[in-house]
Structure 1
Amino acid sequence: MYLRYFGFDSYPFAVTPDPAFLYLSESHREALAHLLYGAGEHGGFVALTGEVGTGKTTLIRAVVDNDTSDLDIALCWNPHLGTTEFLGTICDELGVDYDPERDTTLKALVDRLNAHLLQAHAANRRTVLIIDEAQNLSRDVLEQLRLLTNLETHKEKLLRVILVGQPELGDLLMRHDLRQLAQRITARFTLRPLGLAETRAYVQHRLERANGPQHLFSRPAMFMLRALTRGVPRLINMVCERALMGAYAHGRSHIGPWTVARAAAETLPARPRMGRPGRRWRLLVPTGAVAASVLGAGLIWLPEIPPTNAAEDTSDRGTETAPTGHSASEQNQSPTTSADAQTARDAEDAAAPQSAAGKASDKASDEADAENTAKDAGKDAGQPDSPKGQQTRTQAAQPDKAKPESEASNKTQAKASRDRSSAPKPQRSPQDLPVGDADINQLLRLWGVFGAQVRAGCGELHVGDLRCLADHGDLKVLERYNRPALLMLDRDGQSQTVLLSAVNDKTVTLVGSQGTRDVARSRLLKSWTGRFEVVWRSDSGVRLIQPGSVGNAVVWLRKRLLQIDGQNPHSQLGKLSPVYDNALGERLRAFQKSHGLEADGLAGPRTQMMLNGAVLSPGSPSLRSDAQTSEK
């Protein structure tokens, strides 16, 4: 359903235990090592436990699919068997020659099995018995399993046993009547769920294995996914599968936390409840969990986003306006007691929260009120009984000889207020370049990379599949790349760096220490040295695709060229060839020539970047909108 929409070759989050999609976290890698140890030359009895859905069966299949020529494996998937049926299952799995009609006793089956194991040992072959869902084995079967471990030579065990099950298996082996079996277990390991970083790597690994974009899920979405699934891979697959379907149904190219939360509500099983809570609590509990997860995601994300210059300007204007408003209110007040003044200030503070639009519209009226009040104060300075006078309680207590100084001060303040209100406000010209202090981390944020500061240079940048290219050229080259870039400027002999985030026909959008500005293209060209650094995604996985190359990178190149030609790669008959042939070389050289590149047929970083820029990919920032790109 959504395969073509996102460009997948297969379903990335199928719940079947496919070893091709196995992601080895630290815990899974250690669990696999225990399984391989149990199947090795010195293996004996190994127990692997883990919660439901943590990937135990997938690890078993990975061991089975391991191409080991001298290993015979017997798998028991159904432990709900009697002792005789259990032995018969082992014989069937190993291909033991026995008669099901005559060999119906335990002794007959054990003798047949022992003979087969001796023959395998003589042929230098190892035999391993793997039992899944072992927590469901009965006591009699476990005791018979212990007796089977007695089949041995003087130096080696003839049968190696691996028990795999849920945590209840550990409780079962701790029973007093099974202590003989527990003592024979030489290695134990408990498989743990995935952490937050491992959940992110797990999702990206499965997206990559399906040949799709690896950054469909945002960082807050990953946090939400880990919180709701608790890092259990099976639950992660269920939620991600549903989230992809939801994103496809709503035409979205990215998956955010709310999509994950809704997918979890539609797929995850309800957690057990104590008693019979009311409908209100059934709604409040999941809502509170989702709110807590979103708050945590915000706390992780927000500290990494620096405040914009617009916010700083707003706060500065508020600081400058506040004294004017207070002086006007104080000038209009008659002498009051200190308690009245405090009450007035409390009321004024209570009424302070307003909308941004209200503050902007009231600014001019506040300044006009301040000017009129100052004028009235100048006229009424000599009238001690006037309610509009500038007399305060301190001035009333002073001798009459201090009044001239007060009047002169009031006139000076009124004149300064009139000068401030009548003076033209400084307007920042849209043609001015912002002061440049941008770095590679601001560029990476546009790609959804947040966290630790990256200190590597452009040539050494390796963040996932992101790479950096230092190049030179003009705006036309950048428009063909269609990716944000860091521009190196020369302003009065000083080198500065600004971030180019958008381009249109007349202006460009630059980001510097003074915020974001739209600057005329001609103004930028006066200070730009032509050098720039641009981050790009290596979707092909290799740095160079050339004649003679074979593999997925060539298939990617064919798909991209078909998309540029307006064709659907999935509608082609048969699979695309993974071999770089002459026809592909001619098509690539034609693309390079049309985009001002050297037509050498080599798909290096510049060619791959322009291939990516020609067809926008989900999760990749661009200089032009989709509509502008299609017009070009």
Structure 2
Amino acid sequence: MYQAFYGLNEAPFSIAPNPKYLFLSQQHQQAISHLQYCLNEGGGFVLLTGEVGTGKTTLARSLLASLPEQTDIASILNPTLSELELLATLCDELNIAYDNEPTLKQLTDLLSTFLSKNHQAGRNTLLVIDEAQHLKSEVLEQLRLLTNLETDHKKLLQVVLIGQPELQQQLKQAHLRQLAQRITARYHLTPLTSDDVSAYIAHRLRIAGRDSALFNKKACNYIHQLSKGIPRIINVMCDKALLQAYGEQLTDIGKKTIADIAKDVIAIDEVSPPVSSWRVPVALSGVTFAVGFALTAWLYASSVTGDTTTSSLTHGAPTVQHENVPSVEQKIALEQQLLPLLTGATLKQNAFSALMGVWGTAEGAGTSPCQSALNYGLRCHSGSGWRELLEYNHPAKITINVKGNVYHGVVLSLDESSARVQFNQNQFSIPKQWLVEHLAGDFTLLWQPETAFNQSLRLNSRGDEVATLSRQLNQYYQVNNAASAVFDYALESLVKRFQQEHQLTVDGIAGAKTLLKLQVAMKQQSHMLQVVR
């Protein structure tokens, strides 16, 4: 919309990880040189970490593009896999055929044979795992075992782990020390400095076709202040600023424009009245103790009287033996302790912002929450009822009704008897039974399609989205066929079969609901409400 007005060939601030727009700050140059050297030297593991939105994926793509042509690259973008699923996915990426129900040993043998033959043919094999902080310890150990195959000079499989800072902490665990010792290169990306932000904005404008300045220095400094130097947030802010400036026909974007769009991009904390420092720990300790005491009393009563809660995803709402429930007095005691934590949680936008925070985004919900989520490749799905919430197994924005008052928050996780929730800035655990009894209205969850998904897929559709759907259904039903980029009758038949088995409308059209259900069925979602064994 604004490209022609500002002399741009394309939108310069897309959040897609396009290597063409890679901005090489001093630390980015160091990272590429360091990691590239270690890959060329044949090391086993390379580790790249950084906060959400710091440009890890973009840098990794640029790094991979510089590798020799004789390199076979396998990419795993959703690493919430078991050991068997990891090896099967690696085989899929390398086009290695295997039986319908392979064992770990069979897959390991197939991979070992492939790696040896690839090396003899003068080719390298590289595995890249994004969001690696989600890898389970046993899967990391399986990766280490895969890299045991080596010559006198190099590993036959090199692994690049890309993840958030918690991955570093995970690798410090004692039982993973053997893997940690095999990491030959580590680099942690930090946010951009104030000077970097100005250069970064100018760089992206230049790549898009504009040589002259557009954002003045005050605007750049304010963007740095609000974004904390995170490139992804900078991109979102600059894109919205360009759109607003275009509407006002501005040719110089200043601090005022950034301030105007900031409320729809950044969740800016309101300044609270100062509280005496000695009172804060006492207040927090008191609330924690009170809620903990009430929760313990509730759970104790439930266990003594035989109250049972079913948490299986396939059994829907908890089954409560109504003659054996916590007493009215215990319920009142719990609610008296919870009400101070719920007070003020009356805005849906705040709850939605908290839900986006679960996905590591810094952007607030704004006036169009689902559109804000779309900026990060996330999609909204709304449903109603406890059974459906469990079926989709995602953290979700919820509404509860307590004594006629409505509060909006997020359910973060579940275990057998309790739910971890967030209302306002408070995170705490409550009895799951109490939550079910007070749940009101619809819920909204966020999910992330594996590929860009803009419309329903149906007969004769074509493209990467269709190929991804075909591969997933082949894997789900253990069909030993190559993934097809054309939506044919065979794929339509698999879609209908899946829809029928999962109580969906059986029309053979893969819309958002079908794709979400498939992701859940394959346990490939990035965030789970409760872990399914």
TM-score by length of 2: 0.50
TM-score by length of 1: 0.42
The structure number with the bigger radius of gyration is 1
